[in-house]
Structure 1
C-alpha cells in the first residue's frame, strides 16, 4: 500500500515497553503496520502507521500489562545476575580522596616546613 493510504497515529510511551509494542503491533493491526519512536510536542511516544484504525483501548491495556511483565522480568534478571557472579571490576567503587581530619593536618605540616625552611616562622626564634 502507498504511504498516502496509510493512517498515522501517535501514542505516548507511558507504561509501554518499546520491545513489546514492536512485537505485538502486527498481531493487532496486521502485517503492514509499523511503529517507531516519535516525539510530538516535546513528549516521547510511538508513531504507528497502519492501513486501518489504531489500537483499541483494550489492545493498549494488553500492551501495557505485557510491558510491565517485561520490565519485571528484566529487573529480576538483573538482580539474579548480580548475585550469581561477582564482578571482575566493581562499578562505581568509591575512591577515597581525603578523610575528615587528615587533609588539614597534612596541609599544616606542609605549611610549617615551608615556613621553617624560608626563615619566615618568627615563633621558633
Structure 2
C-alpha cells in the first residue's frame, strides 16, 4: 500500500515502553503498521503509521500493562545483577600527576617548552 494512503496517529509515551509497543504494534494493526518516537507540541510520544484505524483503548491498556511488566523485569534484573557484578571504579581511580606547591608543576611546564623548541627546530630543518 502506498504511504499516501496510510493514516498517522500520535499517542503519548506515558506508561508505554518503546520495546513493547514496537513488538506489539504489528500484532494489533497488521504487518504494514509502523511506530517511531515522535515529539508533538513539545510532548514525547509515538507516531503510528497504519493503513487502518489506530489502536483501541483496550489495546493501549494491554500495551501499558506489558510495559509495566517489562520495567519490573528490568528493575529485578538490575537489582540481582548489581550484587554479583563488581564496580568498575578501581579502573577510574585518579592518578596524581602533580600537586600545587610540590614543585612538580613547574617541571612539567618547562618540559613542554623544551618540546616546543624541539618541534620548531625540526620544522625549520624541514623547510631548509
Whether TM-score is above 0.5 comes out as: yes
Compared with structure 1, are the counterparts of its residues 55 and 90 closer, same or farther at alpha carbon in structure 2 (3 Å cutoff)? farther
Compared with structure 1, are the counterparts of its residues 108 and 123 closer, same or farther at alpha carbon in structure 2 (3 Å cutoff)? farther
Q: Which residue of 2 aligns with 1:38?
A: 38
Compared with structure 1, are the counterparts of its residues 69 and 11 closer, same or farther at alpha carbon in structure 2 (3 Å cutoff)? same
Q: TM-score w.r.t. structure 2 length?
A: 0.69
Query: Structure 1: which 5+ residue stretches go unaligned?
Result: none
Counterpart CA distance in 2 for 1:20 and 1:55 is 14
- 1:49 and 2:53 equivalent? no
Structure with greater helix share of residues: 2
Q: TM-score w.r.t. structure 1 length?
A: 0.71
Counterpart CA distance in 1 for 2:2 and 2:70 is 34
Stretch deviating more after TM superposition (14-23 or 97-106): 97-106
Cα RMSD after superposing both structures:
8.5
Query: Structure 2: which 5+ residue stretches go unaligned?
Result: none
